[in-house]
Structure 1
Amino acid sequence: MSVLPLRRRLSVLVALVGCAVLAPPAARASAPPPAPAPVAASAGRAVAAGVTYRVFDLPTSRGTARVHLLSADLGDPRVSVGLLYPGVVAARAPLSRLADGAGAVAGINGDFFNLTEVQHPGVEATGAPVGPAVAGGRALKAAVPRAQRFGPSLPPGTNTRQVLGVDQDGRARLGELVLRGAVTTPDGTLPLGGLNQYALPVGSVGVFTKDWGSVSRLRSTCGTDSDRGAPCSAETYEVTVRGGRVVAVAGTPGRGAIAPGTQVLVGREEGARHLRGLAVGDRVQVSHRLVSAGRDVAYRFAVGGFPVLLGGAPLRGMDGVTSAVRTAAGIGAGGRRLLLLALDGGEGYRSGLTVVEVAELLRDLGAVDGMNLDGGGSSTLVARTGGSAGVRVLNHPSGGVERAVPNGIGLFVAP
């Protein structure tokens, strides 16, 4: 449901920080986008040079949503953006711990992730995120198949490969990162189907590196390209490669930390049959990289999610009915302005917003492009306040406490 009827009734509650009045989302997804609502230059409180924070209330027909908003000036050479994560893909930690560990001044939670495995009894949930991830210019993982994702339904025309990132020029942008890789064996070359993913395409071979962590790799062979809850594959194989040669083989995916310079190949169905032809001592070469689809863009940082705003217009066909506590990011000023917001999940605010309303809100705050991130109990916004050396949680997570998450978007300010 659009918040159009509430336009004249919007008032910004001055809470936690001083802030100016903002106009609410006004147009439906199918309407031409209006000019962004003005935001007074005095709004917000400085977290650090180039980063401000404010909070305001947004009335809707279902109740009031409280919005916590960070604004980062990426045109300031002191300000940068980075991936917050626990050091490996398949692990989780509270966002405040991730931010303090990395030295971030503020941040929000990131991608949806493999939280539970109730459909596969005995299979360990990996905690790994859905989409691609890039940290410090290095590819950590690729995207799982669309049907294997967690989170709300994707808008038409979108996919699990889409990211919010920052390029080598320091500009924020939305994009799509595609895995390009191959496994070369004595019998030929196979395309690589996955990189540090909790779910591999049916019939494929995926590679796991030290960036995966120590969690079991079994989940990668469960479900199918059309059904996340389908049984785990009955035909799997694992090959460990070190120094360009096979050093171990196994009939089922294993667990445990992977040493630097070692690669573990996991195959399912046809991929398993190809790997089964390898023996200890055979030469194997594995190559992989994430490439930008459509445009040649190199990312310093990227995190998965799904777009809700493109070119100033909310995407068509999005869910305008289901309301929830959400986290989102918006891009404006030609990629030089990054908006990070998380809704409050405290008592009285749990009705949240629909994804259509989130897109409209980002637009009215000045964003041209916007990404929806993991919400519900994961929605968390942290920042340093009052000159403190560490961050604190500024919204109220809907679960009452911080949920451990696999990654987040961190804001950094150089001295």
Structure 2
Amino acid sequence: MKRIISSIVVCVLVYLSLFTSNHFIHEVKASSSVPVVYWDGMQLLKGQVGRVDVIKPINLWKRVGGKLVFERVLKPGESYRVYRYDSGFGGQYGLGGAYFVTNMKDYIQYRTPSRAKLLLVNPELNGTKKISLGTVTKEEAKVIAPGVTQSKLTVDGSSGKQAIYKLDVDQKASQITFETSLAKDQMIGYETVSSQANRYNEEGRYVIGGVNGDYFDSNGAPTDLTVHNSELVTTNKTPIKDRVIFGVGANGKAMIGSPDITIGMTVNGGNNYPINSVNKRRDANHLVLYTPYFASTTMTNNLGTEVILENISGTLNGNNKVVATVKEVIVGIGSQSLQPGQYVLSGHGAGSEYLKTLKEGDQVEMNLSYDLSQWNNVQQAIGGRYQLVKNGVVQTYNIAGAHPRTAIGIKADGSVFTIVLDGRQTDSVGVTLNSLAKVMKDFGAVEAMTFDGGGSSTMVTKQPGTTDLSVVNNPSDGKERSVANALFIVMLSSTNPEKEPTPEQKEEIITGTLMIESFEGITNWKATGAKYNTVAVQLEKVYVKEGKQSLKVAYDFIGTTGTSGVYASKDQPITLKGKPLKIGMWVYGDNKGHWLRAQLSDANNEKVQLDFTKNVNWTGWKYVEATIPSGLQTPYKLDLPVRYMQVEDMKKNKGQIFVDSIQAIYED
């Protein structure tokens, strides 16, 4: 908790003057100048630094004249936007205006969005940030998919100008995952990152962005461990002290480490014999397993023995076993064809002599395990070279030279970001490994590593409204270099993000909160009602919760009998996108005890009454919600957003309420 508080204090010292808004978490502001950005299932508002979730009942306080005045008790499960933090009264989070909640361990939990997201709604923060390389003179950011933010930082420092391209990935976001790729879908060969990305797109699985991957041999083979969709592609070549691997575990969690895999085989239940590598060059006395991922053939000479395996079952990955049948034993020929559904065991020297003992029909069993158990059944893995940050500590290297760099990092909350830093250019000179390590720490990495750099450093993204992925950085070769493999950010979705979504497609992915009516500008609202003397609605500029205007709803029910009501509506019903679960609004109550409702109709024109409260017993602003019943057919239409009613003749009176920020609430 102390570490969390420290990070908050640092944030506040930099941005305190911006965070003076007076709105709670349920409020949403519609503005043409500020983009709609969602974070953690809600809309991020200008000035917001984070949110608090209530774990145990805790007091909400109002600061009046330097003292705390009790307001009410916040209940477990409630969440509120946070606009500031200060040390007053033992340390308190500001929920807007004069309202605060005390920082009490185990009673509330504080969370904060990435700075990239903060910049989207607070662009004036550009140019105020310093990192270890120097002053950030410009920072641009945009959301390119739910949970994926692309940004570019321009830095001016003592070593020169730098251009940093960054992708932030919230792995908690629905449908977002990572996936490795291979040039031309095999170990041997080269292909640009953008070509790989565009080729990997397919129905239901869309590449959003990515970067180049591992270092590679002269034939294009990636150097170290590669796993694609839970299948081992190749094993390590680099010694453990010099290699580092990025992986996504079976639980979906990102990790960085130096795992190695052990593979042994038995024939007909006999003694175990080691397999030295998978899809690597066959060295002296080695036994190598080749799969169709390698190339069209094993590319071996005739100084050995090769065994073709078929009827393969099991997953070729750690903590698994693979069973196969010997189809053929071939001695002294080499370069056997690699066919789909088949593996080839290839041995030289001692490995060759062992394979000569096999015969057609033998059953081969291969057992695989990682030396680090958390890597067993790893879903995706791709190699690199230098671990820049380890357990939160910046690592140092005695390696000179400023160059373009590609790196990936994992933050304390498990979220991932990857960067490409241009180099060898006037507007971006590049960095040393030590400087790169500090930059990754600046961005919040507790674990970080490099991928291949130099002319290979490439970032591609798919921009809204475009059909293909394209390079966003400036590779130092002057053009995109062909590389061995890449790491992609993938969205699993039934909606193709490459196509401009239709309204129906957009509805499928709506989450969080969507503004229905903010009452900014000219609106065509009217008043109707029942059993009244007078009713009226009009725009209001004094009693306003958000923005510059709200809607005043006035009524006079005095002396009437029966059910009285004033109804506020637009000339045409408001059509709601997607399938919201609730309707919410801010209401300035008049404490007259009336019934607040709304009327909604579904696609079958079934009329439904939504209850916000049966007793408006407060004066001042309060947020209220009404649940939409299940079983209705979309699209929904909000016929009467406000119905203010009284059914008891003894309670008839007159008054006015004010309504602001009507919104639809969707599933997070």
Give the structure-2-normalised TM-score: 0.48
Query: Alpha carbons of 1:76 and 1:176: their partners in 2 closer, same or farther (altered >3 Å)?
Result: same
Residues 132, 302 of structure 1: 8 Å contact kept: yes
Of residues 433, 456, 460 in structure 2, which corresponds to 1:355?
433
Q: Give 5+ residue unaligned stretches, structure 2.
A: 1-118, 201-205, 312-324, 496-668
For residues 222 and 278 of structure 2, the distance between their equivalents in structure 1, rounded to whole angstroms, comes to 12
For residues 382 and 76 of structure 1, the distance between their equivalents in structure 2, rounded to whole angstroms, comes to 20
Is 1:310 aligned to residue 390 of structure 2? Answer: yes
Any idea what SS the aligned residue of 1:368 has? strand
Is 1:384 aligned to residue 462 of structure 2? Answer: yes
Is 1:339 aligned to residue 417 of structure 2? Answer: yes
Q: Which moved more, 1:379-388 or 1:283-292?
A: 283-292
- Which of structures 1 and 2 has the larger relative contact order (alpha carbons within 8 angstroms, sep 6+)? 1
For residues 346 and 271 of structure 1, the distance between their equivalents in structure 2, rounded to whole angstroms, comes to 47
Aligned residue type for 1:238: E
Of residues 241, 249, 254 in structure 2, which corresponds to 1:167?
249
Residues 179, 288 of structure 1: 8 Å contact kept: no
Any idea what SS the aligned residue of 1:81 has? strand
For residues 77-226 of structure 1, what are the structure 2 equivalents within 5 Å? 77-85=174-182, 86-102=184-200, 103-114=206-217, 116=218, 125=219, 127-146=220-239, 158-160=241-243, 162-185=244-267, 188-197=271-280, 199-200=281-282, 202-214=284-296, 216-218=298-300
Aligned residue type for 1:241: L
Deviations along 1:86-137, whole A, 9 cap, x unmatched? Answer: 32233332111211222201110111111x2xxxxxxxx2x11111111222
Aligned residue type for 1:266: S
Aligned residue type for 1:135: H
Deviations along 1:15-68, whole A, 9 cap, x unmatched? Answer: xxx7834432279xxxxxxxxx99x9x961111111111112334554323211
CA shift, 1:407, in A, is: 1.5
Of residues 115, 126, 137 in structure 2, which corresponds to 1:20?
126
CA shift, 1:355, in A, is: 1.2
In the alignment, what sits opposite 2:49? none
CA shift, 1:263, in A, is: 1.7
What RMSD in Å do the two structures reach over aligned CA positions?
Answer: 3.2
In the alignment, what sits opposite 2:141? 44
Aligned residue type for 2:328: V
Q: Which moved more, 1:259-268 or 1:370-379?
A: 259-268
Query: Alpha carbons of 1:185 and 1:168: their partners in 2 closer, same or farther (altered >3 Å)?
Result: closer
In the alignment, what sits opposite 2:307? 239
Deviations along 1:202-258, whole A, 9 cap, x unmatched? Answer: 53211001222225533xx9xxxxxxxxxxxx95443333341251414254154x1
Deviations along 1:59-87, whole A, 9 cap, x unmatched? Answer: 45543232111111112123211112232
Is 1:65 aligned to residue 162 of structure 2? Answer: yes
Residues 177, 490 of structure 2: 8 Å contact kept: yes
CA shift, 1:392, in A, is: 0.8
For residues 467 and 223 of structure 2, the distance between their equivalents in structure 1, rounded to whole angstroms, comes to 32
Residues 198, 468 of structure 2: 8 Å contact kept: yes
Residues 212, 459 of structure 2: 8 Å contact kept: yes
Deviations along 1:312-338, whole A, 9 cap, x unmatched? Answer: 11224x135222111110111332x21
For residues 163 and 135 of structure 1, the distance between their equivalents in structure 2, rounded to whole angstroms, comes to 13
Deviations along 1:363-412, whole A, 9 cap, x unmatched? Answer: 10111110100111211000012421321100111222222222111112
Aligned residue type for 2:262: R
For residues 241 and 97 of structure 1, the distance between their equivalents in structure 2, rounded to whole angstroms, comes to 33
In the alignment, what sits opposite 1:4? none
For residues 288 and 349 of structure 1, the distance between their equivalents in structure 2, rounded to whole angstroms, comes to 52
Q: Give 5+ residue unaligned stretches, structure 1.
A: 1-13, 28-36, 117-124, 147-156, 222-233
For residues 176 and 361 of structure 2, the distance between their equivalents in structure 1, rounded to whole angstroms, comes to 48
CA shift, 1:347, in A, is: 3.4
For residues 247 and 192 of structure 1, the distance between their equivalents in structure 2, rounded to whole angstroms, comes to 19
Residues 110, 304 of structure 1: 8 Å contact kept: yes
Of residues 329, 332, 335 in structure 2, which corresponds to 1:251?
332
Any idea what SS the aligned residue of 1:177 has? coil
Any idea what SS the aligned residue of 1:405 has? coil
For residues 100 and 290 of structure 1, the distance between their equivalents in structure 2, rounded to whole angstroms, comes to 33
Query: Alpha carbons of 1:397 and 1:265: their partners in 2 closer, same or farther (altered >3 Å)?
Result: same
Bigger CA radius of gyration:
2
Aligned-pair identity (%): 23
